[in-house]
Amino acid sequence: MSAAPLLELRAVAKSFGGARALRGVDFTLQAGEVHALLGENGAGKSTLIKIVTGAHQPDAGTLAVGGERLSHLTPAKARALGIACIYQQPALFPDLTVAENIGLRLEAGTSLRTIDWAARGARALELLRRLGAEIEPDAEVRSLSMPEQQLVEIACALGAGARIVIMDEPTASLTQKEQHLLFTVVRDLRASGVGVIYISHRLEEIFALADRVTVLRDGESVGTHPVSSINEAGLIRLMVGREMTQIYPPGEATLGAPVLSLRGVGCTASGVHGVSLEVRAGEILGLAGLVGAGRTELARVLFGLTPADAGTIELNGEPVVLRSPQAAVAHGLAYVPEDRRRHGVVLEMPIAENMTMAVHRRMFPGAWLRFGAERSLALDYIRDLAVKCTGPDAAGGSLSGGNQQKVSLARWLATRPKVLILDEPTQGVDVGAKGEIHKIVRRLAQEGLAVLLISSDLPEVLGMSDRIGIMRGGTITAVLPGNADAPTVMSAALGQSEKGAA
């Protein structure tokens, strides 16, 4: 007789008001298994995870842990049963040390008990070293990078004896080296008998780590398959309910004259040096390179956040000085940054205000408040970019990641730019939204906009670019044709094949 699953959900349903978030979902997790959970934003993944962790109660269906059916699961009971969730944004106390954070999670007792500081530090060190993490127990959490904070969260889960570990987009902010470390940790957890629920939009991670995959669509489980029995096209078809042959729409634009020209541009503070590059009207120029190559730093130089201190920048053949974002916008540059949460959409602010933030003076000249004009502009972009929302008054935080990215894009399109800089435009969005954003970017290029596309997603760079600039060590080391293949691009990024600018 086979052992009961670590976790089993049967016909689980959940509604919020009139909206049905889950419709009879089945899901099982075995000991020593990595089970991937996929689906577009809004498919029901977050609701399902909140039910498993006790944050939400299902309206119907059953939930069992280790064969024990649970009628009412709370967060405290979930933790006692060995369920731990590692989120993108770790829930740690920034002003406490690593050892103190781990101790607060794992140590029982009253506030009047005596703390064995040496034992606390030794336990934290042992847990961290089990993960291969070179983090000191006495380091303050605020001094740690986001990946290091995630490792502290995993250490807490290990110390608590977690049997079920949920990882929600764990690699969204990790470098390639840190991703490999995390993958090792996940495999070690599996080897020790822990069940891992792994949520990611990056399909390559699913094939590298998972044993099985369950796909949710519109609140329903539309398929559970061994990873070895399905390919990427099959997963995409399950997620979006259709063939996705246009994830990277073909380019049809006729390239015009150079709009942005860089000659030996550098910025000592950001490590950018000797950058020479041209982006033409109607062109999507992809910027590829390894983490730390200087791509985002170059974008910040161009947008006046860290102004250039060497070289010349020309727009439409005229030299310009970009000492601030205001100057960059005035000269026709727009920048959609990588971090939507910090620099993109203001989650508490209505969509209309988010979209018009960069053109506030144009919207409200002098003392006149033209809310009708603001609303009209927002409605135009909601329609043109197919933003899925209840209307321009909805809060930015009510939108999915893909729709937040569209709102961020609308904000800068409202400035009527000549050059659009996109930094990781589809990071953290589902495959359906990714295809929609690609179509928007391609359409903008066809309308004559010059686009500088920065992406760590190599298929995206290959699929979207008319030409590909390679950055390494803070400078452009090669410019390749858009039809270059992945090995050629990677070789150039690694410095193994440096070609002159095209």
Torsion of CA 130, 135, 141, 144, to 10 degrees: -120
Least-confidence region, from 31-40, 220-229, 290-299, 355-364? 355-364
403 token code pair: 């729709």
> Who contacts 33 (Cβ-Cβ below 8 Å, separation ≥6)?
190, 195, 196, 211, 212
Structure-block tokens of residue 80: 């006692």
Query: Alpha-carbon distance 168 to 440, whole Å?
Result: 28
Higher pLDDT, 170 or 124: 124
Distance CA 299, CA 391 (A): 32
Using the Cα atoms of residue 9, residue 13, residue 15 and residue 19 in order, give the sign of their dihedral: positive
Q: Give the global pTM.
A: 0.62
Q: Set out the domains of the chain in order of their start, with CATH numbers.
A: 7-240 (3.40.50.300), 258-493 (3.40.50.300)
Q: CB burial class (10 A; 0-12, 13-18, 19+) of residue 222?
A: middle
Look at residues 397, 458, 449 and name the one whose alpha carbon lies nearest to residue 424.
458
* More confident call, 430 vs 142: 142
Residue at token pair 């495999």: 187
What per-residue confidence (pLDDT) applies to 355? 87
- How far is the C-alpha of 473 from the C-alpha of 272, rounded, in Å? 8
In angstroms and rounded to an integer, the radius of gyration of the C-alpha atoms of the chain is 25
Give the 3-state secondary structure of residue 14: strand
Comparing 13-22, 191-200, 328-337, 448-457, the range with the smallest average pLDDT is: 13-22
d(CA 143, CA 181): 20
Q: How far is CA 5 from the centre of its chain?
A: 31
Q: Which residues pair with 10 in a beta bridge?
A: 62
pLDDT digits (tens, 9 = 90+) for 147-160: 788 889 888 988 88
For residues 356-371, average pLDDT: 67
Structure tokens at 468: 């590909």
pLDDT, position 500: 43
**Token pair of 13, please?**
């349903």
Task: Output the pLDDT for position 77.
Answer: 93
| pLDDT over 80 (residue 313) | yes
Report which secondary-structure segment, H or E, holds 284: strand 284-288
Residue 185, pLDDT score: 86
Indicate the SS3 state at residue 82.
coil
Choose from 73-82, 170-179, 259-268 the range with maximum mean pLDDT. Answer: 259-268
What secondary structure letter does DSSP report for 341? I
218 against 78, higher pLDDT: 78
Residue 293 CA to residue 494 CA, distance in Å, equals 10
Q: Encode 421-440 in three state secondary structure.
A: EEECCCCCCCHHHHHHHHHH
